[in-house]
Structure 1
Amino acid sequence: MKTRFLGTQGLEVSSIGLGCMGMSDFYGRHDDTQSFNTLSQAIGSGVNFWDTSDIYGPKTNEELLGRYFAKHPQHRNKIVLATKFGIMRNSEGDFLGFNGRPEYVRQACEASLQRLGVDHIDLYYQHRMDPAVPIEETVGAMAELVKEGKIKYLGLSEAGVKTLERASAVHPISALQSEFSLWSRHLETEILPVCKRLGIGLVPYSPLGRGFLTGSIKSRSDLDEGDWRLNNPRFSEDNFHHNLVLVDKIIQLAKSKYCTPAQLALAWILHQGEDYVPIPGTRSSERLIENAGAITIALSPVELEQINQLIPADLVFGERYPEAAMANLDK
């Protein structure tokens, strides 16, 4: 496994990370024993950049990682651990809005440290922007936690241009975590140039289109009952079969490179910027090994242009999220 730097403050992580959300929430059935095996495989494969959040579960995903570290304390220092705060959910999983108040930042951080069973968080993100609280106040509170040694680096998730600029004026931001993939290229026009100018690395979540770009999801019936994706516009009855056209193009390109569609999609991201680190989520050790193999796929300028021509940014049918959630993105 190779490594990359996020931001200009020295945060070094594996070139491919691991999104842990699906081990506890949103994507149907999950099994803790299988997840533990996948986490151990991640360590064996050099995938040391693990991503979670206090809303996954809610809270149970952090608790899962906490149990893993309690069982394998020798592994904690091998891991660059990222978690997030700022989206509110109750115990039933209902979304209750956003909270970026300085006093809540501290409260959320302390709670995450306890659930994770660690003495510091390596990368701490504001998960969504709180429109009621100036970003300067939220990032100021996060910066205080850096001074106290409770977190090492700061990140924002789904932040817009002005927010990134204002936040960076308070404290260096090491990473922007936003959706980015072959079928989510909305960052390219404005946000990615600003990240480059400010020295902010990109952590693309859903780099495999929530599994769609792997080619393994052929119909909506392939998803478990209760899977969040069934309510995602791109997985709707109206859009699903249109989006399969995109997947077919990726499958054909992958065959020409003797790799899997997932590896091609991840390799494309890795070639977009030296400080781009995708975090594909998986519950499977086999898929983790497959994803990690994307670092071996070299794409020439000619091949990258071919991909751009075959898979234009406007080919996708459906928004990234339902309408209500879209209003809170890139803010």
Structure 2
Amino acid sequence: MMGKYEEDYRYGLSRASSLLCIAVLAANTATSSAFSVVETPAPRSMEQLVLGTVALPNVRGGASKLLDAAVERGFCRFDLARTYGMGQSERLFGKWLEGSGVDRSTLKLVTKGGMGDDKYGNPDRPMCTRESLRSELTTSLEALKTDYVDLYMLHRDDPRIPAEEFVDWMNELKRDGLIRRWGVSNWSLRRIHHACAYADKTGQEPLTATSPQLSLAVPSNEIWPSTHSVSCPSKLGEINWYRDHNVEVMGWEALAKGFMAVPTLWRQHEIHYSTFHGPDADAGTDTWRLQRIQRAYCTPANYRRRDIAARLAKDSGLSLAQVSLLYCLSKGEHVSVLVGADQTSHLDEMAAIRNFALDEEATDCLTAASMDPTFVSRVATELRGWTMDKDDIEFVQMSREEEDLFSPESDPTVLV
């Protein structure tokens, strides 16, 4: 007789399989569906738009000018990391902050550490320690010209280290006044659940933010080494679990490296799919980056999603990038997105979305990668019932199966 955990797990897999079958049947259906962008009753908080700084060293006209323009437009949260330019982004931001005259208390700085000198998430990198983590944070604070950060995140998980140890280390940093809150980036739900349970048991501060990949484009495989994505439609239960446990979801690569911002980028007939299965290029090279990006995002389902989003953008007078970001924000008020900009026009484009939202039908069509009303309705109904509870998480954690309820392979549309 099957135990409850096994029943739940198999039931979840059967639901994913059913959705896949539905998608195959509807893949070639050419039926129209009406959808729209609507104005919000009140502007959404600018804290949901977190300005990324990874490209800060390459901004035309200088980083300080762009940061001044960002603050003028209401941006108040900034995403940094020790590995961005190996400290250069933090140094440029700190130089601006020191000379800008901006009140530090009006800004919320996010930075990430824990990877040492590793740029790409190598799982065999030297292990993070309590001492190395504190040293990285201290270096970041010195570069940023501040004595605290509002949110400090572990840039990658290291499964070699018990989640409990990370909880202890981050709480020490908080008690010492170096950080206001803490979070993780690219951690799985099972590890986050472990960390939260331990924090609760020991009376410590739990993590309050997670930063996975979140985009309209569902990656078909791991984009960068040791990363985690919640873009797959079947991840809705995970996203809702974070909402129910007061964990912010801060999505990175929301525009899929431009795939969901430029309608003509990497057009389907221009992609050489034979290279997807060839040998990996040398890590860190431009060829390696392009190879990983195209393998992840250039799928038939994602091209359909982009076509639907482009049509919606045209009909509503918005850009593809704006519609793509609105899709991410439709996942809940606990969701924020990292946005990049290298010129003021990009800042204007991003800031403008605070006044808009997608209606439910638009969100459903984009999720299903279809405009067939019957198919969209069936997928939406199925996914809205996809929730996570404690037993589900515990079973997934115990499972040694390759199949996972929350893997990209569960996407009901990505394989068609």
Fold-level match, TM-score > 0.5? Answer: yes
1:172 aligns with 2:209: no
Kindly indicate whether the alpha-carbon contact (under 8 Å) linking 1:183 and 1:316 is maintained by their aligned counterparts in 2.
no
1:156 equivalent in alignment to 2:189: no
| Structure 2 spans left out of the alignment, 5+ residues | 1-41, 200-204, 219-230, 271-284, 371-375, 377-410
Matched, 1:120 2:153: no
Instruction: Report if the CA contact (8 A) 2:52-2:78 is conserved.
Output: yes
Q: 2:83 aligns with which of 34, 55, 59?
A: 55
**Residues 62, 153 of structure 1: CA spacing in aligned structure 2 closer, same or farther, 3 A cutoff?**
same
Q: Deviations over 1:247-301 (max 9, x none)?
A: 3322111112221111111111222101111111222221121011111222222
Structure 1: how far apart are the matches of 2:296 and 2:210?
32
Return the alpha-carbon distance in structure 2 between the equivalents of residues 141 and 150 of structure 1.
Answer: 12
Q: Which has the higher contact order (CA 8 A, sep 6+)?
A: 2
Q: Shift in Å at residue 93 of structure 1?
A: 8.4
Q: Which of 304, 309, 313 lines up with 1:254 in the alignment?
A: 313
For 1:89 and 1:196, locate their aligned partners in 2 and report how far apart those are by CA, in whole Å. 33
Aligned CA RMSD, in angstroms, stands at 3.0
Note if contact 1:125-1:154 (Cα within 8 Å) is conserved in structure 2.
yes
Answering whether residue 119 of structure 2 is matched by residue 86 of structure 1, we say no
The alpha-carbon distance between structure 1 residues 308 and 126, as it changes in their structure 2 partners (threshold 3 A), is same
2:159 corresponds in structure 1 to 131
Partner amino acid, structure 2, of 1:149: G
Secondary structure of residue in 2 paired with 1:298:
strand
| Partner in structure 1 of residue 354 of structure 2 | 295
Q: Any runs of at least 4 consecutive aligned residues in structure 1 with deviations exceeding 6 A, and if so which?
A: none
* 1:106 counterpart (134, 137, 152): 134
Task: Please say which of residues 34-43 and 307-316 is displaced more in the overlay.
Answer: 307-316
Change (3 A) 1:79 1:32: farther
Q: Which has the higher strand share?
A: 1
Residues 1:197 and 2:244 aligned together: yes
Partner SS for 2:112: strand
Query: Once the 2 structures are TM-superposed, how far is the Cα of residue 304 of structure 1 from its aligned partner?
Result: 2.1
Rounded to whole Å, the distance in 2 between the matches of 1:67 and 1:38 is: 13
Letter of the structure 2 residue corresponding to residue 140 of structure 1: D
Q: How does 1:227-238 map to 2 (within 5 A)?
A: 227=286, 230-235=289-294
Superposed displacement of residue 45, structure 1: 1.1
Q: State how 1:275-286 maps to structure 2 within 5 Å.
A: 275-286=334-345
| Residue matched to 1:65 | 93
2:272 matched to 1:213?
no
Residue 297 to residue 142, structure 1, CA distance change in 2 (3 Å): same
Q: Deviations over 1:51-110 (max 9, x none)?
A: 0100111111111111111221424322100000112326x9896726432122211111
Q: Secondary structure at the match of 1:180?
A: coil
Contact 1:211–1:217 (8 Å) recurs in 2: no
Q: CA deviation at 1:237?
A: 12
Relative to structure 1, is the Cα distance of residues 219 and 182 closer, same or farther in structure 2, using a 3 angstrom cutoff? closer
1:311-322 equivalences in 2 (<5 Å) = 313=411
Q: Closer, same or farther in 2 for the Cα pair 1:271/1:243, shift >3 Å?
A: closer
Q: Measure how far apart 1:166 and its partner are.
A: 2.1
Aligned residues of 1:14 and 1:47 also touching (Cα < 8 A): yes
**2:134 & 2:126 partners in 1: Cα distance?**
15
Q: TM-score, normalised by structure 1?
A: 0.80
How far apart in 2 are the matches of 1:217 and 1:276? 28
Show structure 1 runs of 5+ residues with no match.
5-12, 25-29, 318-331
Contact (CA 8 Å) 1:17, 1:51: kept in 2 or not?
Answer: yes
Matching of residue 305 in structure 1 with residue 364 in structure 2: yes
Q: Could you say which residue in structure 2 is the equivalent of 1:16?
A: 49
CA distance in 1, matches of 2:56, 2:313: 27
Distance 1:229 1:93, change over 3 A: closer
SS in 2 for 1:294: helix
Identity of aligned residues (%): 23
Which amino acid in 2 is paired with 1:15? Q
User: Do 2:301 and 2:413's aligned partners in 1 also have CA atoms closer than 8 Å?
Assistant: no
